Structure 1
Amino acid sequence: METNDGFIVLHDPRKNRGTAFTEEERGLLGLKGLLPEAVESIDLQVERVHEQIGKLEKPINKYVYLLQLMETNETLFYKVLMDDPVSYMPLVYTPTVGEACQTFGHIFRRPRGIYLSIKEKDNIRAILQNWQEKDVRFTVVTDGERILGLGDLGICGMGIPIGKLSLYTACAGVPPEYTLPIMLDAGTNNQEFLNDSLYPGLRQERARGEEYDAFIAAFVEAITEVFPKICIQWEDFAGINALRILNTFRDKVCTFNDDIQGTAAVATGGLLAASRYSGKPLTHQKFLFLGAGAAAIGIADMLVQRLQKEALAAEVAYERIYMFDNKGLLVTSRSDLTAYNQKFAHDQEPSDSFVDTIKNIRPTAIIGVSTIAGAFTREVIEAMSAINERPVIFPYSNPTSHSECTADEAYNWSKGKAIFASGSPFPPVIYNGKTFIPGQGNNVYIFPAIGLAVFATEARRLTNEMFLTASEALAKQVKAEDFEQGLIYPPLSNIFEVSVNIAVEVATRIFDSDLAGIDRPLDIEALVKSKIYRAKYEQ
């Protein structure tokens, strides 16, 4: 770097250290007079961030502050997140990211990532080449149609790719320069946004059919040419598109859908841990889903895969899984089922009552992927508690405002019997003198670890077996003392260590599957750990 480049350095978030530049660096880079006199450590800078964040009351204001910190001093931003993931993950991701997406056009300050309009379908390759980094390994991409449980948010869904990729780094050490958030802007059917003068996206109704599919195909072709080692994570696509896109490209490029495979892995990991906690083998259990979309199908498919691994015949495994959607229980007499969820329909009488379905089929676990707030009513929880000594209650819908029930409701209505985990965080619950710490079945336990494994191995493909490996590795890390507190996932405070351990096992599976882009090393764990980004100022 040449002398007098200081002003440029201070405005480069990847190079900027702010007050942590040493006296020698200030002289060399021409920073004299551009910074206060004091030379501070990164730990002191973190302390200042904590103080400034602490003075902000609303989570959305804290989100905006942290996003601005990412844009001014990337290393400090990740240091803050890595030092205290329990406090900061809910601010950069769920539940706060939901509000950030809803208000994206109003809090927008500086663009981050790539925005691809369907009107530019034939120019995608050239647009991608505008990105400053030439070796991108990961993209989280959305079209904004099904953001969390909030519906069609159009281009405002860009908060999801930005947030998820920050967790690749904060939770698993994937170097941030290899990540790229992308929005595929195919329009929106959100009339409120289309009428909003501050909506920054394409003002048209959503493209559908052949036009939409051609846009997706052109994107995949272009990004894999511009970034040959890319791994594409599909995020928050409508269920009707999500499964089709995944099935179209999963055997052609390195790709996965987090709503389908990531959710499946974290849920299966939770069910494996809950099985250990209750002492009831997974093969002796019965599962009822509220919701029959892409997330439910992904979890159910992985459960079948795991049950078969435990020597259960496929037809018997399918008999253990039931789904209930907005038209009732999935039964073979229904004519409105999709090709994807039809395999989970049962030959029995229809039911439009979730409580009656519980009483009739007697599930050991209910899994909420409906995005219907409060759907697990008191009657539902009490019905589960009447037929199970330890009912498994998983309201997995995000954000918190769409959770099927709260932790307080699950523990109190079950009289402390519930084995509970949710998609969004809930505070501890005291019942009958005992404190329960609700587990969070968040995909953050899976996708950053998958990212680190892919980064280390340069994987050419991702398979369902790799996600099952991740779920099993996650479940193994739940300890007896975690169970004592009601946890069926490792504490989020240990997320980095947990992610690295999962990444090592997934990387091993990648090599075993002969899908790595590099030669197998003697020590896979050492390889994975050698790739980890640390949030510190390099000398």
Structure 2
Amino acid sequence: MESFLKDQRGGESVLDLSPRSTVGGGVEDVYGEDRASEDQLVTPWTISVASGYNLLRDPHHNKGLAFTEKERDAHYLRGLLPPAVISQELQEKKLMHSLRQYQVPLHKYMAMMELEERNERLFYKLLIDNVEELLPVVYTPTVGEACQKYGSIFRRPQGLYISLKEKGKILEVLRNWPERAIQVIVVTDGERILGLGDLGCQGMGIPVGKLALYTALGGVRPSACLPITIDVGTNNEQLLNDEFYIGLRQKRATGKEYYDFLHEFMTAVKQNYGEKVLIQFEDFANHNAFELLAKYGTTHLVFNDDIQGTASVVLAGLVASLKLLGGSLADHTFLFLGAGEAGTGIAELIALEISKQTKAPLEETRKKIWLVDSKGLIVSSRKGSLQHFKKPWAHEHEPVNTLLDAVKAIKPTVLIGTSGVGKTFTKEVVEAVASFNERPLILALSNPTSQSECTAEEAYTWTEGRAIFASGSPFDPVELNGKCFMPGQANNAYIFPGLGFGLVISGAIRVHDDMLLAASEALAGQVTQEHYDKGMIYPPFSNIRKISAHIAANVAAKAYELGLATRLPRPADLVKYAESCMYTPNYRSYR
């Protein structure tokens, strides 16, 4: 591993990061500084790391009671720790035991965030080894409540806050961040946090949570991740009047002021971190999300998780569900409730995949897909008043006002909810879908759980156990008539960590739709017969690192095929290469 050498002059430990052979025989950059891999493997220089008291307060290197007797002598730790020496495994056992004592999910979230600030490797070890239990704590649904209360639970800032006060100085602000070799940025402006609306500056919980998953599930090292919140104000009156609010106290900037500010940000990021830094847009309002993706998709490595990540994970579930439903995607009829970023993004990716399979033009394949918004079914007679991203979905049909009437008119085989409004798949709606489908596929995707269009129990009960069900936030298994049903979770966390990692390990410079299809196909390919037997259309999260490696390999393969990869030559075995590049949170030995 690496060695810590004592610098006699300053009483500091020096972390020796000199180059040596790399795991898995992967491709190595000349300087190795942007290789997506374990931090210790290749960087050809030495950095100083504090000793003693300061070492215990450095979350990147602190091991707590796991420092050995020898390390305690070498690094001035004698007396600063109780005499016991315990393993990382025992630390993990103790922490999981204490986490399970908390009844309130938000308290678990706060305990996990405090652990991350104290001991980064132990935080990731817990998250990786207990992913099914802890994912709902550090991500949806708990992260939604954390954002709502971010002002009052705020301890120590994580990531960068770039507000309108920094206009004209964004590049300087980026240079205040201590890490230079950034590979992934997740950025939000807090305007549309999950289904919770405008949370302004408090939306920071989302980039922080997403990047924790990039590391735990996708293997991107923590030092290469940067969460950013763009604060252009908030229209949330409650926050503006809250004495604990941590953001700008003004109404949101819009129009030219907003887009100029975002342009300065995008330009500064590329200038500071180069062409290959992945920028993931997160929880922007619809109108801005589509605009930013269209504008920067051709000049930067950008990706919108709400539009593209959601689409990719839902498409994977649809492809996998065909084993249970029969037929091909082209044989099915899709009806969406919700025509915003998620709904139109999923619809477009489904149409692309059908077009790819049948060689039919996109205009044709879109006709299998219908969308309902707050004014009813989107039909051609409404075209004049529709937002531009809804227009491709305005098909010939007489006006229909309610979801129930739309179900009866369209007779979908697949019902998908992306409305952000809970309880909208009523008993009548679900029973109507079940009346003309042997196995109705019902995806209630809105987050958090409180906004889900229906619960797993409702879907199974109202269809007498015939439904195949998946949701955005997790639901517990359901017992019905002596049978156990396992609801799927169409969680973006299946896709974006692997997709991002695939872009990083191939040195991709642009995101292409074919990469999203490649990610969906890789995920669907991980569902086994054993999963199908339980009615599952997604593999369990317990295998997520393996799943992410396959997704990353598929995405990287597509990047090489499209000529968008810069890390050459292409590794012979991309799955093995992806696995060899993944960050692992085990403690290192210092000497």
Structure 1 residue 226 corresponds to structure 2 residue 272: yes
* Residue identity matched to 1:521: P
TM-score normalized by the length of structure 1: 0.99
**Does structure 1 residue 12 correspond to structure 2 residue 58?**
yes
Choose the corresponding residue for 2:114, options 68, 86, 89.
68
Q: Distance in 1 between matches of 2:576 and 2:359?
A: 36
Q: Quick one: which of 70, 78, 81 aligns to 1:24?
A: 70
Per-residue Cα deviation, 1:445-480 (whole angstroms, up to 9, x for no partner): 100001211221121111111011000111111111
Shift of 1:516: 1.1
Q: Matches of 2:573 and 2:396 in 1, distance apart?
A: 51
Deviation at 1:523, TM superposition (A): 2.8
Cα drift, residue 529 of structure 1: 1.9
Deviation at 1:276, TM superposition (A): 1.6
The one-letter code matched in structure 1 to 2:371 is M
Query: Which residue of 2 is the match for residue 517 of structure 1?
Result: 566
1:344 corresponds to which letter in structure 2? W
Return the match for 2:253 from 186, 207, 210. 207
Any idea what SS the aligned residue of 2:479 has? strand
- Supply the distance in 2 between the matched residues of 1:312 and 1:438 (Cα, whole angstroms): 33
SS at match of 2:303: strand
Structure 1 residue 172: Cα displacement: 1.5
Q: 2: distance between equivalents of 1:423 and 1:467? A: 18
In the other structure, the counterpart of 1:531 is 581
**1:344 CA displacement:** 0.6
What residue in structure 2 maps to residue 415 of structure 1?
A: 464
- Conserved? CA contact 1:376–1:405, under 8 Å: yes
1:284 counterpart residue number: 331
The Cα of 1:417 is off from its aligned counterpart by 0.8
State the AA in 2 paired with 1:529.
Answer: E
Aligned-partner Cα distance in 1 for 2:54–2:385? 60
In the alignment, the residues of structure 1 paired with residue 262 and residue 564 of structure 2 have an alpha-carbon distance, to the nearest angstrom, of 25
Instruction: Report the residue type matching 1:210 in the other structure.
Output: K
Q: How far apart are residue 313 of structure 1 and its match? A: 1.7
* Counterpart-to-counterpart distance in 2, 1:19 and 1:406: 44
User: Structure 2 unaligned runs (5+)?
Assistant: 1-5, 13-50
| Separation (CA, whole Å) in 2 of partners of 1:343 and 1:28 | 66
User: How big is each residue's C-alpha offset from its partner over 1:473-525, in whole Å with a ceiling of 9 and x where there is no partner?
Assistant: 11111111111112100011111111111111111111111111211223323
Q: 1:327 aligns with which of 344, 350, 375?
A: 375
> Which one of the candidate residues 117, 128, 139 is aligned to 1:93?
139
CA distance in structure 1 between the aligned counterparts of 2:122 and 2:574, rounded to whole angstroms: 30
Distance 1:471 1:309 in 2: 13
Q: Which runs of 4+ in 1 moved over 2 A?
A: 1-4, 521-527
Equivalent residue in structure 2 for 1:194, among 240, 263, 270: 240
Give the paired residue count: 539
Amino acid aligned to 2:484: T
* Distance in 1 between residues matched to 2:140 and 2:303, nearest whole Å: 20
**Is residue 311 from structure 1 mapped to residue 361 from structure 2 by the alignment?**
no
1:275 matched to 2:325: no
Q: Measure, in 2, the Cα distance between the counterparts of 1:446 and 1:121.
A: 34
Give yes or no for contact 1:81–1:170 (8 Å, CA) kept in 2.
yes
Cα separation, 2, equivalents of 1:148 and 1:260: 13
2:409 match:
360
Secondary structure of 2:380's aligned partner: coil
Q: Which amino acid in structure 2 is aligned with residue 377 of structure 1?
A: T
Residues 1:293 and 2:293 aligned together:
no
**Residue type of the alignment partner of 1:389:** E
How big is the shift at 1:530?
2.1
Equivalent residue for 1:431, pick from 480, 483, 500: 480
SS of the residue corresponding to residue 151 of structure 1 reads coil
SS at match of 1:35: coil
Whole-Å Cα distance in 2 between the matches of residues 97 and 525 of structure 1?
A: 31
Alpha-carbon distance between aligned partners in 2 of 1:143 and 1:339, rounded to the nearest angstrom:
22
What is the distance in 2 between the residues matched to 1:421 and 1:71? 34
2:28 aligned partner: none
1:179 paired residue number: 225
Pairing 1:28-67 to 2, within 5 Å after superposition: 28-67=74-113
Offset at 1:527?
A: 2.4
Cα deviation code 1:88-132 (max 9, x no counterpart) = 000000000000000000000000000000221210000000001
Q: In the TM superposition, what whole-angstrom CA distance separates every residue of 1:233-268 from its partner, at most 9, and x where no partner exists? A: 000000010000000001101110000000000010
* Distance in 1 of aligned mates of 2:149 and 2:366: 42
Alpha-carbon separation, structure 2, partners of 1:418 and 1:522: 42
Separation in 2, partners of 1:223, 1:121 = 14
Corresponding letter in the other structure for 2:433: M
> Alpha-carbon deviation of 1:312?
4.9
Give the SS at the match of 1:150. Answer: coil
Matched, 1:247 2:320: no
Pair 1:161-2:211 in alignment: no
Amino acid across the alignment from 2:179: E
State yes or no: 1:390 paired with 2:439: yes
**1:165-198 CA distances to partner (integer Å, 9 max, x unpaired)?**
0000111211111000000001000000000000
- Given that 1:283 and 1:312 are in contact with CA atoms closer than 8 Å, whether structure 2 keeps it comes out as no
Give the corresponding residue for 2:455: 406
Partner of 1:132: 178
Normalising to structure 2: TM-score of the pair?
0.90
Task: Read off the aligned partner of 1:299 and give its amino acid letter.
Answer: I
The 8 Å contact of residues 185 and 201 in structure 1, kept in 2 or not, is answered as yes
CA RMSD of aligned residues (A): 1.0
Contact 1:121 1:219 in 2 (8 A): no
Please give the alpha-carbon distance, in whole angstroms, between the structure 2 residues aligned to 1:149 and 1:124: 29
Cα distance in structure 2, aligned partners of 1:383 and 1:449:
37
Letter in 1 for 2:145: E
Aligned equivalents of 1:454, 1:444: Cα separation in 2: 16
**In structure 2, the residue corresponding to 1:288 is in which secondary structure?**
strand
